[in-house]
Each structure stands twice: as structure tokens, then as C-alpha cells.
Chain A
């Protein structure tokens, strides 16, 4: 916390379309971690911590052995959900390093959705009867994150008079920024507002382009102390604050009226601002996980960037597009247009903005925020700041 831990290396595999990876998911994980270690100037044997989220296939035990760690001293994964924990992985790394439990902690995520079940697919849910947790929705054909987030978004748009154009603006900003990023799976495939509106409905109010992609790839970051970072090649980027959690009575994905509609980000935002001593208006560049466009709008409001009644103006008119945007946003293209590595590629982009290495580089960046997936608890966020 407060700059006592730093990101000292980032690494990625090539990002592929769903099913496009010639490498196995485990190979992708190893590649991203090797690239992060090389970026930092570390030997793989020096790494001693591994953190992921919603990853039950690439265990720290297997990775530490395959990568030749001298020892594994810290491994962890957050409870529940998926990409909502993309920034929580950095919180765990921050805690491990600040607590002295490990020296070089890796946060990683590997996804090969062509080799394993697609996250947005309900197909794996249908082997027999619906177990209790799914029984309240699955018999009614309510089973995917797109449908769940659509129900939240529909009510929120109704309550606050938000139009489809606001949703479109999120997707268009991601696509515009991805055109600058050769890593982006959607690089060279610009999106127009007309094409957005003409795309097929997945579940109203989400068109195809309101939904993130499904991809194969892996991403990794390495966290250490500023003291250790001095001896390394990588430019250290301090972690100023992290947050993870949920407010009262909202952990159940059951649409109960006390918090419906809601994205679980009020308390995460409050915690970030309190711990870092800054306000939303101080943020120079924002990466906000888009599972779907509607939850992005809701999370923007819950975190405190604007009020629901202001959101159309806040995101409209190209306000989020390009390096000179009013608020540079999802500057790599995000989950919608760079790659869906469960949001960890967006945490890397937040680091890149402070290293001055983004393909959509914002000016004079001092505060770079990465927010995890909205709509599933616990939410998470990580704020990076300038090197001391």
C-alpha cells in the first residue's frame, strides 16, 4: 500500500481469437510469466509467489515446478466470480510483498477458450438437472453473465433515462483505441456507430458489440519492493492503493431489491479514494473492465466519476476516445477490442500508461486506475502512481 510495493515487470503471450492459439493454455501461462520476468530482468528461479483468479487449471504448484522456481512462498486466489477479481490479484500481491512473505510475486491469468469451455457459454451447465445455486434461474433460461448483466442494465437505464447511445459510446471508445494497438485482436477492424446498432442482439439491451470477446492468451505482472526494484532493469510502477470487497447483503447473485440494480463498486471506490487520498477527478487514465458496456456505465457512477443522470454526457461525443480524451479510457482496447484475458491485460495497460509505453499514451500520467469486472462480487480496483 501507498507505494510500498511496485510492479516491476509485465508480460503477455500473443493474444488470439477464441480457439486460435497453437499453444496449450499452460504453455500460454508460462510464456506470459517468462516474458514478465525478462521485462523485469529477473531469473525465473527468483520468482517465489503466484496469484491468479478463477483459474483451476494452471495451479501454482505446477507452474512453480515447470518454471523452475527455487521456492514457492506465497500462492493465493480470491473467492468467487471471475474478472471481478482482476485487480484483487494485485491486492494479494501487494499484501504478500508488503508483508514480507515473498519477494517477487506473479499475478497471472491464462485463458484458452478454444481448449476449454467458453465463459459466456451455458453449455457446461446443462449436464443433467440444475444444482441448487443455478436452479433459481437456469430452468427459466437465465444462465449467462450477459443475461444477468442485461437485467441489471435494463432497469438502471429505465430508472435514469439512459439511452442505447451511452452503451454504444463505451464499445466505440474501445474499438477506436484498439486501432492504435497492434496487439489488439480487433486491430484493423474499426467499428462505426451504424455497425454497432446494426449488429445482432445477444440479449436486449446488449448488441454483439456490447459484449467482450472470447480469446486465447495469457498475461502476467510481477510485484516486488521498491528496494529490490532498484537492482532490476524494469521501470518500477508503485501500487498506491488496492481494494476488494462488497457492500452489505449484496454477495448473492439473486437480484434482490435491496441493491438491484447494482454493480458492487460503491465500497470499492470508497476504499480506493480513502486509501490513496485522491478523488475520481484526479485520475489521469482509466481501465474499466468491460464484460458488457452497461455494467461499465453503472460502475463509473458507483465509483464516483459521475452521476447516472450525467453519464450520457460523460461518455458521449468521443469523451473517452484516444490519448487526448477528457478521460483516456481502456486505452489498449480493453476486453471488447484488445483481448479478453479476464481483465489482467487491462491491468498491464494501466502500468504501461505510467511507463509511457501505451500505444494510446495519455499525457502527464500520475494516477492510473484499473477496475475489475462489474456485476459480480467481490469487485476490485488497483491504483498505480508515479515512481518516487
Chain B
């Protein structure tokens, strides 16, 4: 699918800590192999036990709207034709205590409300620096939920 804010909008610069999230085509959350703690964004140390044996795991790809706001002011000229758009904080099923940021696509911005069930979808792009195929997580409302 093409990108919610346009295919020319800013892409993430890939690093070892964010590459799984932006390339796997699933919702990747970092877990501690020692104590099982889940954390986001990923870091080099487990915030629960300070261990360094961390791994990424694929989540089921569903979540819930914790907050969502409609952006009207275009901060950058490239967004002038994209406003109004919605940004949301989404708690990730399967990863206790973890929320991610994203857009809710496929509906009017004002139709997004706290508590709604969501499922992940993925925007496709190519990282210009490395040629790596990106699959950028986004969310859409679950019909009937």
C-alpha cells in the first residue's frame, strides 16, 4: 500500500534497534530473554532486569487506540495537502506495557476514538540509503469492533 502521508514523506533511518520494526512486515517488539520483559522503543539493556540478552518477537498484529488526535496545522509544506490527518498511540496486543505511534488509515481522521480495536497493516517503501525494503507499520480499524 502507498503511504498515508505520501510516498515522499520522511522515512526512518534504519539502525539495528529499529530495523526489525520497520522491515519485518509484522509488529516487532523487543523482549528480554532472561526475564520476559517487553519494552518499546527498543534499547540495549532490559529496563526490568538490566540484562543484555534481548530479542525481537512478532506480535499478533492487533491493538487498541490509547489516544488519537487530528492534526490540522501542516508543520511542513509537504504536509499541506495531507492535513487533516490522524496520529494515534496504540497499545500492542501481546506486549504488556508497550504502545507504539502510528496513523489509523482507511477511515476519516475524526472517526478514530479511544478504545477502538485496530489491526496492523504495512506501507511499502525502499530505504534510499541501503535499498532495503521497508514495511512501515500502520493501523486500521477492525470492522464491526
Contact = CB atoms under 8 A, between A and B. Distances in A.
B27 to A, nearest CB: 13
Contacts of B26: none
Contact of B13 (A131, A154, A158, A260): A131
B24 interface: no
Contacts of B70: 201, 203-204
B67 A155 contact: yes
Contacts of B138: 140
Contact of B73 (A132, A155, A201, A261): A201
A158 B45 CA distance: 34
Q: Which DSSP category, helix, strand, loop or mixed, fits chain B's interface?
A: loop
A140 B103 contact: yes
A143 B103 CA distance: 13
A258 interface: yes
B75 A257 contact: no
A227 B70 CA distance: 55
A191 interface: no
Interface stretch (A10-18, A121-129, A180-188, A337-345): A121-129
Contacts of A136: 18, 41, 100-101
A129 B12 CA distance: 5
Interface in A115-165: 121-123, 125-126, 128-132, 135-144, 146-147, 150-152, 154-155, 158
Contacts, number: 129
Contacts of B67: 151-152, 154-155, 158, 255, 260-261
Contacts of A121: 75
A260 B127 CA distance: 32
A249 interface: yes
A150 B136 CA distance: 24
Contacts of B31: none
B25 to A, nearest CB: 16
Contact of B12 (A122, A139, A258): A139
23 contacts: A130-B12, A132-B13, A138-B10, A138-B12, A139-B10, A139-B11, A140-B101, A140-B102, A141-B5, A141-B9, A141-B85, A142-B87, A147-B71, A150-B69, A151-B67, A151-B87, A201-B73, A203-B70, A249-B47, A252-B41, A257-B91, A257-B97, A260-B89
Interface of B: 4-5, 9-13, 15, 17-18, 22, 40-41, 47, 66-73, 75-76, 78-79, 82, 85, 87, 89, 91, 97-103, 114, 127-129, 136, 138
